[in-house]
Each structure stands twice: as structure tokens, then as C-alpha cells.
């Protein structure tokens, strides 16, 4: 099967898993439930649950906790997009090709749907203890710790704080500062995805460290490519307006180092990740990494 068909099949399978885990049976709070499900169902590449699943499978994983964590990471990622689109942050009207959550449900419901998705992610992983035998609790605890750390103040939220402050202050960022923001805002959730896939499959600490390093490279390359696409892509392909970095006076790797250097850095980082993971070009994981950094949406 071609890579594109396989990718399509895997995305559809992941969407079934997400659908089976989304909140149902809402009562008086059903509007927020609808807003949560609207945001998740709006689509997206599903790369975080996919990377988690691929690492898990490649390492012979069997745990029944996997699907809870796959849904949890997509809920956390989706909440971050919902909040990032709010008027207090980037104030965007479109995401994933449809109206942003606050544009569709109002600002208060946008805030609450994001909050609820974040909390729901942890409800799911807490529930995973009920799905595995006691001998597997240690894996679930480790995965829980990684998820909470990489999504929190020492991970994605920390990166977003620096990004927001840098944008407001309009100071010129140096390479270390840009990389710090990319590492925390973007790479942290990709690291969590790959590390959790490894932890649930029972990989040892040395291999989890290697996954963390490879995911750092993939995350930075992914973010640089995102900045490239903000200049070179179209609304139709991206599902949101292009040029938003310039509109928000956001400094990016591309605005500081130029398109050519940014593109060669994406290539260098992805080569390094593929080397660290030891995957060959026939492996789906290798092709997935190349697709992520060479994507047009
Ligand atoms: C609000 C706490 C908080 C954090 C927001 C994730 C984020 C931090 C902001 C969103 C904007 C942005 C450029 C984030 C960097 C990560 C990134 C490239 C997100 C887009 O991820 P994709 O391309 O999106 O995987 P889809 O829609 O395909 O799931």
C-alpha cells in the first residue's frame, strides 16, 4: 500500500478511537460537550496519537491503556489550539478549515471547552488504571507523569507564555530563545507522544531518553515547517489564514534566518531524528517523519 493510503487508513482508525472516547451523555452542560466534540471532530492530521501508536507498535506494545493516552494527547493538543485562537491570544476565526470554537460557540464557551478538554484528558488517563492489570500500573504512572509535565508549565504552557511575552515586548529574539519557545510550545507534546508510546510498550529508560531527543528534533523541524507554511501555503491547504505570523508581528525561525536556512534546518533535524530512531526508509515511521517536515498543511 502507498504511504498516502496507509496514512489515510491510520488517520481513519485513530478517528474511530477518538470517537469512542469522546464525552457523551451530557445533561445541562451539553453545550460545552458539543463545543469539545466540535473542536476534536474538526479534523487535523492526528500526528500526536499516530506517533504514540507507531512507537508503541514498533516496540511490541500490548497495553490496553494506549487508546486512553492517544485520545488524551489529542484532547490536550486540541485544547491548546482552541485557547490559542481566542481573542486574548491570536484571535483567529478559522482552524482546521472551519470556524474556531469561540467563533462558533462564543468566547466563554471557547474558554470552557478548552478547559474541559484539558481536564477530560486527565480523566481518561486516570481511568486507564481500571483497564490494565496491577502489574502495569507503573507504566501508566510513568506515562501520566510525562503527559502532565510536557503539557504543563515546564512544557507547552511554559513555551506559550514565553511566546506571548516575546510578541508583546517586541524584543528581538536570539536563536536560543526561539529554540526554547519551539521546544516547549511545540516539541513537548511530540516528545510526550513518542515517550508515552515507548513507556506503555515497556521500553527501558535509555530508549525513552533517545525517543525524547529524536522527538525534540521532529518537534523543532515541525514548527519551522509550520512557520514556512504560514508564508508559502494557502488558506485552502492550511484550513486557516496564512500570514498570521506577520499579522501578529511574531518572530519565527523564518523571519530571523530566512526561508532557505529554515528549510535546510528542517532537513538536518529530520535526518538526525531518523538516525537516532534507527528506522529505514521502508518503515512507515521514517516516511511519517519525512511527511511531517515536508507537509503542505
Ligand atoms: C494555549 C496553553 C496554550 C498553548 C498554545 C499549541 C499552541 C500553544 C499554539 C497553537 C499555535 C501553534 C503554531 C502551535 C505550535 C504547534 C503547532 C504547529 C500546532 C499545530 O499542530 P498540527 O499542525 O495541527 O498538528 P492539526 O490541526 O493538524 O492537529
What are the two backbone dihedrals, phi and then psi, of residue 99, each rounded to the nearest 5 degrees? -60, 140
Q: Is 223 in the pocket of ligand 1 (CB under 6 A)?
A: yes
CA distance 245 to 278: 35
C-beta separation of 190 from 218 below 8 A: yes
Q: Is 131 in the pocket of ligand 1 (CB under 6 A)?
A: no
**269 pLDDT above the threshold of 90:** yes
Residue pLDDT, tens place only, 24-40:
988 989 999 999 999 99
- Which residues make Cβ contacts (< 8 Å) with residue 179, sequence separation at least 6? 220
**297 pLDDT above the threshold of 90:** no
DSSP for 244-294, written as a single string: HHHHTT---HHHHH-HHHHHHHHHHHHHHHHHHHT--TTSHHHHHHHHHHH
Q: Residue 50: its pLDDT value, please?
A: 98
**249 pLDDT above the threshold of 90:** no
pTM for this predicted structure: 0.94
Q: Is 226 in the pocket of ligand 1 (CB under 6 A)?
A: yes
CA of residue 284 to ligand 1 center, whole Å: 24
CA distance 263 to 253: 10
Q: Residue 170: its pLDDT value, please?
A: 79
> Would you call 242 exposed, middle or buried from its count of C-beta atoms within 10 A (0-12, 13-18, 19+)?
middle
Q: Residue 171: its pLDDT value, please?
A: 81
Q: Is 186 in the pocket of ligand 1 (CB under 6 A)?
A: yes
CA distance 134 to 14: 27
Amino acid at each position: 500500500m502507498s504511504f498516502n493510503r496507509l496514512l489515510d487508513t491510520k488517520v481513519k482508525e485513530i478517528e474511530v478511537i477518538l470517537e469512542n472516547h469522546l464525552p457523551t451523555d451530557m445533561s445541562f452542560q451539553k453545550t460545552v460537550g458539543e463545543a469539545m466534540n466540535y473542536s476534536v471532530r474538526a479534523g487535523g492530521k492526528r500526528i500526536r496519537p499516530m506517533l504514540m501508536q507507531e512507537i508503541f507498535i514498533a516496540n511490541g506494545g500490548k497495553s490496553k491503556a494506549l487508546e486512553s493516552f492517544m485520545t488524551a494527547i489529542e484532547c490536550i493538543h486540541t485544547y491548546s489550539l482552541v485557547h490559542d485562537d481566542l481573542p486574548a491570544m491570536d484571535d483567529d476565526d478559522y482552524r482546521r478549515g472551519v470556524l474556531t470554537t469561540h467563533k462558533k460557540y462564543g468566547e466563554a464557551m471557547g474558554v470552557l471547552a478548552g478547559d474541559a478538554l484539558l481536564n477530560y484528558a486527565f480523566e481518561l488517563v486516570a481511568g486507564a488504571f481500571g483497564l490494565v492489570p496491577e502489574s502495569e500500573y507503573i507504566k501508566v504512572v510513568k506515562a501520566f507523569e510525562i503527559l502532565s509535565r510536557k503539557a504543563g508549565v515546564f512544557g507547552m504552557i511554559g513555551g506559550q507564555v514565553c511566546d506571548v511575552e516575546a510578541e508583546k515586548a517586541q524584543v528581538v529574539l536570539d536563536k536560543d530563545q526561539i529554540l526554547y519557545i519551539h521546544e516547549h510550545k511545540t516539541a513537548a507534546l511530540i516528545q510526550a507522544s513518542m515517550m508515552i508510546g515507548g513507556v506503555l510498550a515497556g521500553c527501558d529508560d535509555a530508549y525513552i531518553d533517545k525517543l525524547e531527543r529524536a522527538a525534540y528534533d521532529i518537534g523543532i523541524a515541525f514548527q519551522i515547517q509550520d512557520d514556512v507554511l504560514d508564508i508559502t501555503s494557502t488558506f485552502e491547504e492550511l484550513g486557516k489564514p496564512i500570514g498570521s505570523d506577520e499579522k501578529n508581528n511574531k518572530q519565527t525561525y523564518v523571519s530571523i534566518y530566512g526561508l532557505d536556512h529554515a528549510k535546510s534546518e528542517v532537513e538536518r533535524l529530520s535526518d538526525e531524528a531518523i538516525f537516532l530512531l534507527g528506522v529505514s526508509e521502508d518503515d512507515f515511521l521514517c516516511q511519517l517523519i519525512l511527511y511531517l517536515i515536508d507537509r503542505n498543511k
